[in-house]
Amino acid sequence: MRILALAILTIATASAAPSARAQMYDPAYPVCLQTYGDKGDYIQCAYTSLAQCNMSASGRGGECVVNPYYASPGPRKTRSRK
């Protein structure tokens, strides 16, 4: 009986816990806006330059940071004309 009660308590506790929000850096953009607020902090990677990010961050509680996970495009392959 104890095992059944413990199992029910464990399931109830696990289902009542709030889900965690995963913050993800988008590897397609080199600059991210990290915003601080009452509803929580979040990171939005959608900027191609620091100047573009700074314009968006103006007037908000946040800062622009370089994306540590940015996957820069590799060098272009050029065809040689013969």
pTM: 0.59
pLDDT at 34: 92
48 in any annotated domain: yes
pLDDT at 38: 83
pLDDT at 21: 56
The domain total for the chain is 1
Which residues form the domain of 41?
A: 22-71
2 in any annotated domain: no
Residues of the chain with pLDDT under 70: 16-23, 80, 82
CA 30 to chain centre: 13
